[in-house]
Structure 1
C-alpha cells in the first residue's frame, strides 16, 4: 500500500490549534457515509487487531470449504459488518503484545474501509494491554501531573483522529479506554480520583467529536455480571459530568450465564439512557457448539431490548501464533469453527 499516508502535518497535532480561533471546521470529516447510518441496524462485528502480525508470519485462513481466502471475505460471509481495532500509544515490536500504533491501526482501518466494513477504534491509553485488572499509562505519561496528562490526552486523541481523517477513514465508533472499571492511566485517572478520571475521558471525547462530530463515542466496562462494578464507574463518571454516547461492555459468558448478563446489560441501558454495545465476546476453542449457542443467545437477547451489536474478540487467532484459547479458528484445518455460526440466521 505504497500511497498509505501515516502522518499528519505537525500543525494538526497540537491542542493549540483547537484552542486558537477555530482553525479546523467542526463539520469536517471524510469517509464512507454517516456513522449513525452505519450503526442504525444491529452490528455483527469482530476484533481482528492481530491480523497484520499473523499475516507477517505467513498465516493464512481457510473458509468453511477448506479453501484459502481473504479473511475479510470469510468474515463477511458470516454477516460481519464491522471491525474493532485497538491502538496503543508507543507500543513495542513484540508480535503478540506490541504493534497497533496509530499508523498501523490506520493502515488496517483503510483495509477495512476498502473491504466495505465499518471500523470501531479502541483506545487503550497505554503502550500495551489495559484491561479490567490493569490500567497503566503510557510510559511517556507516567510521571505527569494531572494537568500535564490532560494536555497529553488532548494532543494524542486529536492527533490520532487526524491520522485517520488524513487517510480518508471516518470511524463508525470510537471507544475511549478499554475495560475502565477502575479508571484510566492510574493513579492519576483512577476511579478514586473521579474528577480527574472524568476530565481525562472528557478530553478524549471532545477531541473525537472535534475531528468527527457525528461519530458516537463509547466508554467500555468489563464484567457486566458484576453490575455493581459497572455502575460504580458509570455513577462516578456521570456525576462528574462525563460525556458518552454508548456504553460498551465485555462479556464472555457461556450457557446458563448468558441470561443474567443480558438482564444486567438491559438494566445498564435503561438506567443510564445510553444504548449498550457488546464489544467483546468469545468462548473456549474446544467447545465450539456451546460458544455458537451462547453467541446466538447474546445476539437475540441484545436485539430484544435495542442493544446495538456484538463483536467477537479475535476469532481469527490460532496457535502457534498465540496461546489465546477463545478464538474461533481451528489450528489444524485453518477453518472457522462452528462458533462463528452463532452470527448466522439471527
Structure 2
C-alpha cells in the first residue's frame, strides 16, 4: 500500500440514544438511503471482494491486464465495468496471510484506497476472529464466555467503533453487511437460529449502530445457498418475526451452468416474498473452467438485473491459488492475466 496511515483513532464509545432516520417509502423499497438519486437506484452493481489484496501485494503478487501489462488491480477491475468492492472484517484476527488480517483498521485503510480509486465499498462484518460461513458461526474469542446481554452490548460497541473507524478514514460505505452466511445464526450458540430472539437481538444491535453512524447506508443480512430455499426462508422468517430489520437481502451462490436458472428463480422468490431487493454478494467458480464461470456469471447478471435485483459480486477473483489454496479465482497464476471468467462482466 502506498497510502499514508493516520494515527490510530481514539477508541470511540457509542451514544446511549440511538438516532432515528427518515427515508421515503420508495427509498426503503430499494434499500437505499434518502439521499440516493434515481440514477443510483437504477445502476446495477458489478463488484468484487478483494480483501486479500494487501496481503497478496505484501508477498510480491501483482496483476497484469488482459494484454499482459502490469497495472494496479483497481484499474484492471474498472476496465471490466466493476464499480464496487466488498471488504470483510474480523474482530481480533491472527497474522495468517490467508486466514487472518482484515482487522477493522486494515479494512478501513483498504476502503480508503478503494474510494480513492473511484470505487464504492461494501463493508462486511463476520462477527468472528476468522472465517464465518454457512457451516461455521463462531463468536470472537473475547465474546465467547459472555451472556446474551453482555454480547449484545459488545456488538453495539464493536459496530459503533468499527463504523467510526471507517468514517475516520473518510469513507462512507455504499453498503454494510451484518454477518456472513448466517443461515444458522451468528455467534453460536448464543445467537443460534434455535434462539431466534437472541439472534435477532444481536443482529439488530449491529443494524442500529450502523445506521447511527451511516444513516443513509443500506444494511444487508447475508444468507447462503439460495438453491436451498427453505434454509434461506427459515433464517429470514426467524429474523423478521423477532423484530429484525434489514434493507437488502444478500445471497451467496457459486452455482454453475444448468444449476443457475433454479437459483435465479429462488432469488426472485426471496425478493418478492420479503419485499427487499436482493444482491448476490458472492459468486465464483473453478479457476480451471473459466468459460463456464464466465457464462454462468453472465447468466446471473442478466437474470438478477431482469427481476430488479441490485448487483453481483465476484468473490476474490484476484486471489491466486498458489497464495490461498482455493480453487475459485479469475486470474491465471502463471501469466498473471485475468482468465476468460472476468469477461462475464463485459
Q: Which residue of 1 aligns with 2:28?
A: none
Is 1:5 aligned with 2:6? yes
Deviations 1:48-76 (A, max 9, x none): 10000000001010000001111000000
Could you say what secondary structure the match of 1:284 adopts? coil
Could you say what secondary structure the match of 1:321 adopts? helix
Could you say what secondary structure the match of 2:151 adopts? helix
Deviations 1:24-69 (A, max 9, x none): 8979xxxxx9873445410000001000000000101000000111
Shift of 1:252: 0.3
What TM-score, normalized by structure 1, do the two folds share? 0.93
Long gaps (5+) in structure 2: 23-32
Picking from 209, 212, 217, the partner of 2:211 is 209
Distance in 2, matches of 1:340 and 1:6, equals 37
Pairs within 5 Å for 1:161-310? 161-310=163-312
Is 1:19 aligned with 2:16? yes
Indicate how the Cα distance of structure 1 residues 39 and 152 shifts in structure 2: closer, same or farther if over 3 A, else same.
farther
Q: Quote the RMSD (CA, aligned, Å).
A: 1.7
Q: Which residue of 1 aligns with 2:47?
A: 45
Whether the aligned pair in 1 keeps the contact of 2:321 and 2:329 (CA below 8 Å) is no
Whether the aligned pair in 2 keeps the contact of 1:295 and 1:343 (CA below 8 Å) is yes
Could you say what secondary structure the match of 1:160 adopts? helix
Deviations 1:238-280 (A, max 9, x none): 0001000000000000000000000000000000000000000
Q: Which residue of 2 aligns with 1:160?
A: 162
Distance in 2, matches of 1:34 and 1:110, equals 24
**Number of residue equivalences:** 333
Could you say what secondary structure the match of 2:323 adopts? coil
Distance in 1, matches of 2:292 and 2:115, equals 32
Whether the aligned pair in 2 keeps the contact of 1:8 and 1:163 (CA below 8 Å) is yes
Whether the aligned pair in 2 keeps the contact of 1:61 and 1:335 (CA below 8 Å) is yes
Whether the aligned pair in 2 keeps the contact of 1:35 and 1:171 (CA below 8 Å) is no
Q: Which residue of 2 aligns with 1:116?
A: 118
Could you say what secondary structure the match of 1:292 adopts? helix
What TM-score, normalized by structure 2, do the two folds share? 0.93
Long gaps (5+) in structure 1: 28-32
Deviations 1:176-201 (A, max 9, x none): 00000000000000000000000000
Q: Which residue of 2 aligns with 1:62?
A: 64
